[in-house]
Amino acid sequence: MPPTEAEESKVQNWQRQGWKTNFKIKSVDLREINQAAAARDVISPIDEPKHVSLAEGDEFLDDREPVAVFEHAGLTRAYPLQILTWHEIVNDVVGGAPVLVTYCPLCNTAAGFSRVVDGQTLRFGVSANLRISNMVMWDDLTESFWQQSIGDAIVGDMTGTQLEFLPLSIASWSAFKES
Protein backbone atom coordinates (compact mmCIF):
# COMPACT_ATOMS: atom_id res chain seq x y z
CA MET A 1 0.00 0.00 0.00
CA PRO A 2 1.45 3.40 -0.97
CA PRO A 3 2.32 5.74 1.90
CA THR A 4 -0.09 8.47 2.91
CA GLU A 5 1.00 12.07 2.39
CA ALA A 6 1.70 12.40 6.13
CA GLU A 7 3.83 9.20 6.15
CA GLU A 8 5.73 10.33 3.06
CA SER A 9 6.37 13.72 4.69
CA LYS A 10 7.76 12.08 7.88
CA VAL A 11 10.07 9.84 5.88
CA GLN A 12 11.27 12.67 3.72
CA ASN A 13 12.11 14.92 6.68
CA TRP A 14 15.01 12.78 7.89
CA GLN A 15 15.97 11.43 4.49
CA ARG A 16 16.27 14.75 2.75
CA GLN A 17 18.49 16.47 5.31
CA GLY A 18 21.81 17.24 3.64
CA TRP A 19 21.07 15.17 0.54
CA LYS A 20 20.79 16.33 -3.09
CA THR A 21 19.08 13.03 -3.90
CA ASN A 22 16.00 13.17 -6.12
CA PHE A 23 13.57 11.46 -3.71
CA LYS A 24 10.72 11.67 -6.25
CA ILE A 25 12.34 8.89 -8.29
CA LYS A 26 12.37 5.59 -6.41
CA SER A 27 11.73 1.90 -6.90
CA VAL A 28 11.04 1.15 -3.22
CA ASP A 29 8.74 2.50 -0.55
CA LEU A 30 10.80 5.04 1.41
CA ARG A 31 9.32 3.61 4.63
CA GLU A 32 11.50 0.53 4.03
CA ILE A 33 14.65 2.62 4.50
CA ASN A 34 15.73 3.17 8.09
CA GLN A 35 18.35 5.59 9.32
CA ALA A 36 20.97 3.52 11.15
CA ALA A 37 23.64 6.13 11.95
CA ALA A 38 23.89 9.86 12.46
CA ALA A 39 25.27 10.89 9.08
CA ARG A 40 26.50 9.64 5.74
CA ASP A 41 30.04 8.33 5.70
CA VAL A 42 30.17 8.23 9.52
CA ILE A 43 31.45 4.80 8.47
CA SER A 44 34.12 6.06 6.11
CA PRO A 45 34.78 4.21 2.87
CA ILE A 46 38.34 3.49 1.81
CA ASP A 47 39.13 5.40 -1.37
CA GLU A 48 42.79 4.57 -1.91
CA PRO A 49 43.48 1.25 -0.19
CA LYS A 50 47.02 0.40 0.78
CA HIS A 51 47.74 -3.09 -0.49
CA VAL A 52 50.40 -5.09 1.32
CA SER A 53 52.45 -8.18 0.54
CA LEU A 54 51.50 -11.63 1.81
CA ALA A 55 54.30 -11.38 4.39
CA GLU A 56 52.96 -8.04 5.66
CA GLY A 57 49.45 -9.51 5.78
CA ASP A 58 50.75 -12.37 7.92
CA GLU A 59 51.77 -9.80 10.54
CA PHE A 60 48.15 -8.95 11.35
CA LEU A 61 46.02 -11.72 9.82
CA ASP A 62 45.53 -15.13 11.38
CA ASP A 63 45.40 -18.00 8.86
CA ARG A 64 41.73 -18.62 9.74
CA GLU A 65 40.63 -15.01 9.27
CA PRO A 66 38.12 -14.37 6.49
CA VAL A 67 39.01 -12.17 3.56
CA ALA A 68 36.96 -11.01 0.60
CA VAL A 69 38.78 -12.37 -2.44
CA PHE A 70 38.41 -10.20 -5.52
CA GLU A 71 39.60 -11.24 -8.96
CA HIS A 72 39.66 -8.93 -11.95
CA ALA A 73 41.84 -8.42 -15.04
CA GLY A 74 44.09 -11.31 -14.01
CA LEU A 75 44.79 -9.81 -10.59
CA THR A 76 43.65 -11.18 -7.25
CA ARG A 77 43.33 -9.14 -4.08
CA ALA A 78 42.26 -9.96 -0.53
CA TYR A 79 40.30 -7.46 1.54
CA PRO A 80 40.27 -8.55 5.21
CA LEU A 81 36.79 -8.60 6.76
CA GLN A 82 38.36 -7.17 9.94
CA ILE A 83 38.92 -3.98 7.90
CA LEU A 84 35.75 -4.16 5.79
CA THR A 85 33.68 -4.45 8.98
CA TRP A 86 34.81 -0.94 9.93
CA HIS A 87 34.66 0.64 6.45
CA GLU A 88 32.11 -1.45 4.47
CA ILE A 89 33.11 0.07 1.11
CA VAL A 90 36.39 0.13 -0.82
CA ASN A 91 36.61 2.27 -3.95
CA ASP A 92 39.61 0.73 -5.67
CA VAL A 93 41.28 0.40 -9.06
CA VAL A 94 42.31 -3.13 -10.06
CA GLY A 95 44.09 -3.74 -13.36
CA GLY A 96 43.19 -0.19 -14.42
CA ALA A 97 39.47 -0.75 -13.78
CA PRO A 98 37.54 1.24 -11.15
CA VAL A 99 35.97 -1.37 -8.85
CA LEU A 100 33.85 -1.44 -5.73
CA VAL A 101 34.31 -3.97 -2.93
CA THR A 102 31.48 -3.94 -0.39
CA TYR A 103 30.65 -5.72 2.83
CA CYS A 104 27.59 -5.36 5.04
CA PRO A 105 28.49 -6.76 8.48
CA LEU A 106 24.88 -6.66 9.63
CA CYS A 107 23.72 -9.22 7.06
CA ASN A 108 27.16 -10.67 6.21
CA THR A 109 26.99 -9.96 2.48
CA ALA A 110 30.03 -9.19 0.37
CA ALA A 111 29.77 -8.11 -3.25
CA GLY A 112 32.06 -6.73 -5.92
CA PHE A 113 31.01 -4.34 -8.68
CA SER A 114 32.31 -2.14 -11.45
CA ARG A 115 32.16 1.55 -10.47
CA VAL A 116 31.64 2.60 -14.09
CA VAL A 117 28.05 3.53 -14.96
CA ASP A 118 27.19 4.97 -18.38
CA GLY A 119 30.87 5.73 -19.00
CA GLN A 120 31.32 7.63 -15.72
CA THR A 121 33.34 6.44 -12.73
CA LEU A 122 31.39 6.76 -9.49
CA ARG A 123 32.68 6.95 -5.94
CA PHE A 124 30.50 5.21 -3.37
CA GLY A 125 29.95 5.91 0.31
CA VAL A 126 27.90 4.60 3.21
CA SER A 127 24.57 6.44 3.44
CA ALA A 128 23.95 5.61 7.13
CA ASN A 129 20.70 3.96 6.03
CA LEU A 130 19.55 0.35 5.94
CA ARG A 131 16.91 -1.41 3.89
CA ILE A 132 15.89 -4.91 4.95
CA SER A 133 18.88 -4.85 7.36
CA ASN A 134 21.22 -4.31 4.40
CA MET A 135 23.53 -1.35 3.85
CA VAL A 136 22.36 1.40 1.52
CA MET A 137 25.22 3.02 -0.40
CA TRP A 138 25.23 6.38 -2.17
CA ASP A 139 27.12 7.66 -5.21
CA ASP A 140 28.97 10.98 -5.47
CA LEU A 141 27.50 12.00 -8.84
CA THR A 142 23.74 11.95 -8.20
CA GLU A 143 23.63 10.98 -4.51
CA SER A 144 21.31 8.15 -5.48
CA PHE A 145 20.79 5.36 -2.94
CA TRP A 146 21.99 1.85 -3.89
CA GLN A 147 21.11 -1.48 -2.25
CA GLN A 148 24.45 -3.13 -1.41
CA SER A 149 23.41 -6.77 -1.71
CA ILE A 150 21.98 -6.45 -5.23
CA GLY A 151 23.81 -3.42 -6.66
CA ASP A 152 20.60 -1.66 -7.68
CA ALA A 153 19.92 2.07 -7.45
CA ILE A 154 16.67 2.29 -5.48
CA VAL A 155 16.22 6.04 -4.87
CA GLY A 156 17.34 9.01 -6.96
CA ASP A 157 18.20 9.78 -10.56
CA MET A 158 20.01 6.46 -11.04
CA THR A 159 16.97 4.42 -9.92
CA GLY A 160 16.66 1.29 -12.03
CA THR A 161 20.37 1.18 -12.81
CA GLN A 162 22.19 -2.04 -11.89
CA LEU A 163 25.90 -2.12 -11.11
CA GLU A 164 27.84 -4.80 -12.97
CA PHE A 165 28.70 -7.62 -10.56
CA LEU A 166 32.35 -8.69 -10.47
CA PRO A 167 33.63 -11.96 -8.94
CA LEU A 168 34.09 -11.81 -5.19
CA SER A 169 34.14 -14.63 -2.65
CA ILE A 170 34.99 -15.17 1.00
CA ALA A 171 37.91 -17.42 1.95
CA SER A 172 40.32 -17.83 4.82
CA TRP A 173 43.59 -15.94 4.69
CA SER A 174 45.47 -19.26 4.40
CA ALA A 175 43.29 -20.42 1.47
CA PHE A 176 43.89 -17.08 -0.26
CA LYS A 177 47.67 -17.39 0.23
CA GLU A 178 47.67 -20.96 -1.09
CA SER A 179 45.78 -19.98 -4.22
pLDDT in tens, 137-170: 999 999 999 999 999 999 999 999 999 999 999 9
Q: Quickly state the pLDDT bin for 14 (edges 50, 70, 90).
A: low
Structural domain boundaries enclosing 96: 5-178
pLDDT score, position 52:
96
Does the pLDDT at position 4 exceed 90?
A: no
pLDDT at 13: 56
CB burial of residue 23 (10 Å; 0-12, 13-18, 19+): middle
Please, are residues 94 and 77 in contact by the beta-carbon 8 Å criterion?
yes
Q: How many domains does the chain have?
A: 1
What is residue 38's predicted lDDT score, i.e. its pLDDT? 72
Which residue from 117, 138, 101, 98 is spatially nearest to 15, judged by alpha carbons? 138
| Stronger pLDDT, 17 or 92, i.e. the higher one | 92
* Cβ count within 10 A of residue 130: 20
Per-residue model confidence as pLDDT tens digits over 91-144 = 999 999 999 999 999 999 999 999 999 999 999 999 999 999 999 999 999 999
* Helix %, strand %, coil % of the chain (to 5): 20, 40, 40
pLDDT at 106: 93
pLDDT band at 7 (very low <50, low <70, confident <90, very high): low
CB 33 within 8 A of CB 128: no
pLDDT tens, position by position, 28-77: 999 899 888 778 888 999 999 999 999 999 999 999 999 999 998 899 99
